[in-house]
Structure 1
């Protein structure tokens, strides 16, 4: 029998993973990612865990520093996220995912963001 504190811990861990991508989505995304066999730089063994970590941050709207340790060290995940940006990987991933209506959660609502009046489209007087 599993002790109650261990059951509680396992339940919490599984709650984090409800945001993880499905096998179907992984099959679509995997070829887009760096670290494939035959490419310079070696094979990335944890691309899926990394993608799941990024999606967890997106879906929960939390800070990088609050990333559960199941996904790795938050600083490493954040640095990798930043490193991937210049190559256009995130744009390619988004282009694939927006074709599926179930991924509407990827759209960002920035209505809460404070911007300068000129940026917000306010008319001058």
Structure 2
């Protein structure tokens, strides 16, 4: 392998993402975000890329750290995913995804698993504090 091939082991290559929605489904999802994310800027172009990254994680089952982004951007995606979970943003998004049932199922499962993990982590923390 040539050392000048442009690959830096510390930074993952950014590759084009699979788009999980057609234009009409994305328009419904974007509209569902308008009321709940006005303070967080739901109108930016990055929102669709964020959702595609979350669905890539859900579909492939890879760890967050293996998403095709630099480490700092992976952290931002994970934090945003957690905030959307905590803020209750996912239910209207899932409803808007009704015409993409496979993506809807994958996202619903990822959100559910994350919520279970967070609850169990909080419960373990409370038990340790009590002992």
Quick one: distance in 2 between partners of 1:91 and 1:33? 10
Using the TM superposition, give the Cα deviation of residue 69 of structure 1 relative to its aligned residue in structure 2, in angstroms.
1.6
Using the TM superposition, give the Cα deviation of residue 92 of structure 1 relative to its aligned residue in structure 2, in angstroms.
1.5
RMSD, aligned CA: 3.5
Name stretches of at least 5 consecutive residues in structure 1 with no aligned partner: 7-11, 110-125
Quick one: distance in 2 between partners of 1:21 and 1:100? 7
* 1:41-56 alignment runs, 5 A limit: 41-42=40-41, 43-56=43-56
Matched residue, 1:13: 15
Name stretches of at least 5 consecutive residues in structure 2 with no aligned partner: 7-13, 111-131
**Bigger RCO (CA 8 Å, 6+ sep):** 2
Matched residue, 1:73: 73
Structure-2-length-normalised TM-score: 0.55
How many residues end up aligned between the 2 structures? 96
* 1:1-125 alignment runs, 5 A limit: 13-14=15-16, 17-33=17-33, 39-42=38-41, 43-69=43-69, 73-98=73-98, 100-103=100-103, 105-106=105-106, 108=109
Structure-1-length-normalised TM-score: 0.57
Aligned partners of 2:18 and 2:52 also within 8 Å: no
- Report the structure, 1 or 2, having the larger helix content: 2
Higher radius of gyration, 1 or 2 = 1
